[in-house]
């Protein structure tokens, strides 16, 4: 009984452990290069848009489907904002708003076909993928549009203001320190609250040492991460966007009725419908939301590159889908968490980054990523079957 429960807990954090192990392997292979302040910063910048997309994709995966149109929608929205800024001289906020609205429109388009007409999401989003990519080429006349102004690029490559302080000859950012402190306090408080709640209702609680190790690992990661960012250039704006989105969607999926409805629909659509859940509405909002997040990712990507290119976002849908599955989501739907998808995205990101640092070609990188996806899902399913 007890050993079973502990096993489950270890599995829950299996991917976090894998994340740390992968990081350590590349730390050794690259001679410590992947832990330099600059590289930690790069990790955030490079993976920001994948994390954003994985968050949206998880909702699609929870319904038992995927959105293949993600990469193309990212390209379309990036192109829209670049064209509005460079060709029409519109103010940046308006261009951003327009890009997000275009993303939303694509989502509504997909959602309408899927929910109102009952066309399978695979078909609808495959069509979106083709249409979106084609339209991007048309709009950009198959050329890169840039350079975008610096104030726009700050979204993808800028930092929060810093307050540099000196301690013992070290210069670092006070904001990072405060954020790390706040995160530590919040983590401990939430763990304490859930511990007390479990005791109150007589649920099984993990032994204290386990909780202790878990907290120590998470807090350790946060401080290491924030320290590296602090001695570099402070907190990237992308990180703020990421954190906000992760927080919002984690709350929606775990604490709100609308989130629970997605799980119920993915777990058993017929039962969900007979329980008063408007399944068409759920499908509509899941895909509309995905479009919206594609808009956000499109802005981040074009801002980071300083330009919009017709090939932008190529293959992003596969990265986002892979992140969800690596993070423990079930292909049949109904199982998966936002945090899992984020961890999955980070696993992919750290792999990419580490392999680039040690000079492996992108061809080999694809092979490795494929193997990791297959391995993670196989491990997940086989270990479940044993139980």
Partner 1 sequence: MSEFILEMRHITKEFSGVKALDDVNLKVKKGEIHALCGENGAGKSTLMNILSGVYPHGTYTGEIYYQGEACKFSDIRESEQQGIVIIHQELALSPYLSIAENVFVGNEVTGMKGVIDWTETRRRAQEVLAKVGLQGEDISQPVNSLGVGKQQLIELAKAMEKNVSLLILDEPTAALNDEESMHLLEIMLQLKKQGITCILISHKLNEISYVADSITVIRDGKSIETLEKESTEFTEDHIIKGMVGRELTNRYPKRESKIGDTVLEIKDWNVFHPEDANRKVISGVNFKVRAGEVIGFAGLMGAGRTELAMSIFGHSYGQKISGDILLHGKKVEIKTVKDAIHNKIAYVSEDRKSYGLVLIDDIKHNMSMAALKEHFARKGIINQNKEILEAEKYKKLTNIKANSIEQNVASLSGGNQQKVVLAKWIQTHPDVLILDEPTRGIDVGAKYEIYCVINDLAKQGKAIIVISSEMPEIIGTCDRAYVISEGHIAGEIQKDELTQENIMKSIISHGGKRSNGQ
Choosing from 271, 358, 364, 374, the residue that interacts with partner 1 (CB under 8 A) is 271
Q: Of 102, 272, 299, 312, which one interacts with partner 1 (CB under 8 A)?
A: 272
Residue 48 and residue 244: Cα distance in Å, rounded?
A: 12
| Residues 184-203 close enough to bind partner 1 by CB under 8 A | 197, 201, 203
Under the binding rule (CB under 8 A), the answer on residue 276 touching partner 1 is yes
Residue identified by tokens 């708003």 is 97
CB 67 within 8 A of CB 55: no
Nearer to partner 1 among residue 253 and residue 356 (C-beta): 253
Cβ-based nearer residue to partner 1, 168 or 270:
270
Q: Are 64 and 262 in contact (CB under 8 A)?
A: no
Sequence-distant (6+) residues with CB within 8 A of 160 are 175, 234, 235, 236, 237, 240
In the set 44, 74, 246, 264, which binds partner 1 (CB under 8 A)? Answer: 264
Write out the binding residues for partner 1, residues 85-114 only, by CB under 8 A: none
d(CA 337, CA 254): 8
- Applying CB under 8 A, the span of 9-17, 22-30, 97-105, 266-274 interacting with partner 1 comes to 266-274
| Three-state SS sequence of 46-67 | HHHHHHHHHHHHHHHHHCCCCC
Instruction: Indicate the residue among 272 and 342 with the shorter CB distance to partner 1.
Output: 272
DSSP 181-226: HHHHHHHHHHHHHHHHHHHHTT-----HHHHHHHHHHHHHHHHHHH
Q: Smallest gap, in angstroms, from Cβ of residue 276 to partner 1?
A: 4
Residues 112, 273, 360, 368: which binds partner 1 (CB under 8 A)? Answer: 273
Q: Report yes or no: 156 and 78 within 8 Å, Cβ to Cβ.
A: no
Closest CA to 234 of 222, 225, 243, 246: 225
Binders of partner 1 among residues 294 to 353 (CB under 8 A) are: 330, 334-335
* Contacts of 142-145 spanning 24+ positions with Cβ under 8 A: 142/310, 143/310, 144/307, 144/308, 144/309, 144/310, 145/79, 145/82, 145/83, 145/86, 145/87, 145/307, 145/308, 145/309
Residues 55-74 within binding reach of partner 1 (CB under 8 A): none
Considering only 275, 361, 378, 383, the residue that binds partner 1 (CB under 8 A) is 275
Determine phi and psi for 381, rounding to 5 degrees.
-70, -40
The least distance separating partner 1 from the CB of residue 275, rounded to whole angstroms, comes to 4
Compose the 130-169 pattern: x for residues touching partner 1 by CB under 8 A, - for all others. Answer: ----------------------------------------
Of the pair 366, 384, the CB lying nearest partner 1 is at 384
Nearest approach, Cβ of 10 to partner 1 (angstroms)?
Answer: 17
Q: Select from 274, 363, 382, 385 the one that contacts partner 1 (CB under 8 A).
A: 274
Residue reference for tokens 């993600």: 70
Q: Which is nearer to partner 1, 14 or 267 (CB)?
A: 267
248 touches partner 1 (CB under 8 A): no
Q: Which stretches of the chain bind partner 1, using CB under 8 A? A: 1, 197, 201, 203-204, 255-258, 260-261, 263-264, 267-268, 270-278, 330, 334-335
């Amino acid at each position: 009984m007890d050993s079973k429960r502990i096993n489950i807990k270890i599995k829950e954090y299996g991917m976090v452990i894998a994340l740390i192990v992968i990081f350590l392997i590349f730390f050794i292979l690259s001679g410590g290069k992947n832990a330099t302040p600059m590289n930690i910063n790069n990790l955030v910048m490079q993976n920001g848009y994948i994390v954003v997309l994985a968050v949206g994709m998880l909702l699609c995966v929870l319904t038992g489907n995927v959105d293949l149109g993600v990469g193309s929608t990212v390209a379309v929205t990036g192109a829209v904002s670049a064209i509005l800024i460079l060709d029409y001289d519109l103010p940046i906020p308006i261009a951003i708003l327009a890009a997000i609205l275009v993303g939303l429109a694509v989502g509504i388009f997909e959602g309408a076909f899927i929910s109102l007409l009952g066309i399978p999401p695979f078909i609808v989003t495959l069509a979106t993928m083709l249409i979106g990519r084609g339209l991007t080429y048309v709009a950009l006349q198959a050329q890169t549009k840039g350079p975008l102004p610096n104030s726009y690029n700050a979204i993808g490559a800028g930092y929060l203001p810093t307050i540099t302080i000196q301690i013992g000859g070290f210069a670092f950012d006070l904001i990072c320190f405060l954020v790390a402190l706040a995160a530590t306090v919040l983590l401990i408080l939430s763990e304490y609250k859930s511990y007390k709640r479990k005791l109150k209702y007589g649920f099984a609680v993990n032994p204290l040492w386990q909780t202790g190790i878990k907290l120590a690992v998470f807090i350790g990661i946060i401080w290491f991460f924030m320290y590296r960012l602090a001695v570099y250039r402070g907190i990237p704006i992308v990180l703020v966007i990421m954190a906000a989105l992760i927080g919002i969607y984690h709350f929606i999926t775990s604490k709100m009725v609308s989130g629970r409805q997605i799980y119920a629909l993915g777990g058993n659509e017929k039962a969900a419908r007979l329980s008063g859940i408007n399944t068409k509405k759920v499908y509509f909002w899941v895909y509309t939301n995905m479009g919206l997040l594609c808009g956000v990712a499109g802005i981040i990507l074009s801002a980071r590159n300083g330009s919009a290119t017709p090939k932008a976002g190529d293959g992003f849908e596969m990265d986002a889908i892979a992140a969800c599955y690596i993070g423990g989501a079930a292909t049949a739907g109904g199982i998966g968490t936002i945090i899992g998808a984020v961890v999955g995205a980070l696993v992919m990101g750290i792999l990419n980054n580490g392999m680039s640092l040690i000079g492996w070609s992108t061809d080999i990188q694809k092979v490795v990523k494929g193997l990791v996806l297959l391995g993670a899902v196989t491990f997940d399913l086989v270990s479940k079957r044993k139980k």
